[in-house]
C-alpha cells in the first residue's frame, strides 16, 4: 500500500493513564464501528515478559529492544471474555494482563530504543476500514494524523476502585490503597519519561470520566464520532 492510501484509513486514538477504562471504551468503539483495535500496552507488556523469559535484565534496554523483532504476536477474539493474546503460538493473556506486568511494561517503555522497536509494528495495525488505537502516545507519536483524538482521565482513587472491581470480578483480590499507590507510581513514570510521555496531543479532546459510568462515557464518545461522520 502507498503511504497516501494508508493515511486515508481513519484512526481514532484513545490515550490516558492506567485504569481509566480505555480497554472498555476502545473495545466498545471497535465493535460499534466494525474497526480494528490496537492494544498498544499489550505490546510493551509482552516484550517485558519475553525479556524476563530470555533472562535479559530490563535495564539492558538495547537487548530488550532487539527481542521485539522476533516475537510473533497475534490478538484474537472481539470481547474481553473471549480475547486471547498469542505470542509465538502460546496464549499468554493471563500473565500479560496482571498488574505486576503493567509495572514491568512501564519500566521498559521509558527507553527510546524499546519505543522505536515497537513503532512500526503499531503503525501496521492501521488496516481498513479503520483503527481504534489504545495507549499512551497514540495521538502524539504513533498516529499524529488521526482525525479524532481522545484523552481520558479520572482521579487515581477512582481508577484504583475500578481496577479493584475488575480484579474481584476475575476472582482475585487486592488492597485499594496498594492499588492506588501502584497506579500513581506507574502514571508518574509514564508522565515524566523523556520520550513519548503520557500527555494529551494538542488537538485531543479531554474527557474526565471520574463521575461517569461506562455507558455515559460511551454516549459522550458516540456524540463525538457522529459529529465527525464516523457513525
Q: Are the beta carbons of 135 and 15 closer than 8 angstroms? A: yes
φ, ψ for residue 64, nearest 5 deg = -65, -45
Handedness of CA 207, 48, 195, 187 (dihedral sign): positive
The region of 40-48, 124-132, 148-156, 214-222 touching ligand DC under the rule CB under 6 A is 40-48
Identify which of residues 98 and 155 has a Cβ nearer to ligand DC in the complex. 98
DSSP 73: E
Interacting positions 108-167 with ligand DC (CB under 6 A): 109, 135-137
Judged by CB under 6 A, the residue of 47, 49, 64, 105 near ligand DC is 105
Number of residues in contact with ligand DC under rule CB under 6 A: 15
Question: Comparing C-alpha atoms, which of 79, 13, 76 is closest to residue 230?
Answer: 13
> Which x/- pattern, by CB under 6 A, does the window 45-84 give for ligand DC?
x---------------------------------------
Among 10, 21, 102, 139, binds ligand DC (CB under 6 A): 102
Q: Where are the alpha helices (DSSP H) in 134-175?
A: 156-169
Work out which of 13, 26, 40, 140 binds ligand DC, going by CB under 6 A: 40
Q: Tell which phi-psi region holds residue 76, choosing left (phi > 0), alpha (psi between -120 and 50) or beta.
A: beta
Query: Which residue from 15, 13, 17 is spatially nearest to 158, judged by alpha carbons?
Result: 17
Q: Is position 21 an interface residue for ligand DC (rule: CB under 6 A)?
A: no
Contacts with ligand DC, residue ranges (CB under 6 A): 18, 40-42, 44-45, 102, 105-106, 109, 135-137, 186, 190
Amino acid at each position: 500500500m502507498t503511504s497516501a492510501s494508508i493515511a486515508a484509513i481513519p484512526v481514532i486514538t484513545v490515550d490516558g493513564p492506567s485504569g481509566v477504562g480505555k480497554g472498555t471504551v476502545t473495545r466498545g468503539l471497535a465493535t460499534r464501528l466494525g474497526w480494528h483495535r490496537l492494544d498498544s500496552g499489550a505490546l510493551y507488556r509482552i516484550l517485558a515478559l519475553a525479556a524476563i523469559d530470555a533472562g535479559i535484565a530490563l535495564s539492558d534496554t538495547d537487548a530488550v529492544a532487539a527481542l521485539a523483532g522476533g516475537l510473533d504476536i497475534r490478538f484474537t477474539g472481539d470481547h474481553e471474555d473471549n480475547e486471547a493474546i498469542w505470542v509465538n503460538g502460546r496464549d499468554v493473556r493471563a500473565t500479560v494482563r496482571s498488574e505486576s506486568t503493567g509495572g514491568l511494561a512501564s519500566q521498559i517503555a521509558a527507553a527510546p530504543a524499546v519505543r522505536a522497536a515497537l513503532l512500526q509494528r503499531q503503525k501496521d495495525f492501521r488496516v481498513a476500514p479503520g483503527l481504534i488505537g489504545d495507549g499512551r502516545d497514540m495521538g502524539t507519536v504513533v498516529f499524529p494524523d488521526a482525525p479524532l483524538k481522545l484523552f481520558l482521565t479520572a482521579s487515581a482513587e477512582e481508577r484504583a476502585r475500578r481496577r479493584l472491581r475488575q480484579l474481584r470480578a476475575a476472582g482475585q483480590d487486592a488492597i485499594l490503597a496498594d492499588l492506588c499507590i501502584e497506579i500513581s507510581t506507574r502514571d508518574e513514570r509514564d508522565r515524566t519519561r523523556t520520550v513519548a510521555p503520557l500527555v494529551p496531543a494538542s488537538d485531543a479532546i479531554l474527557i474526565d470520566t471520574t463521575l461517569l459510568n461506562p455507558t455515559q462515557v460511551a454516549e459522550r464518545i458516540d456524540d463525538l464520532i457522529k459529529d465527525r461522520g464516523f457513525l
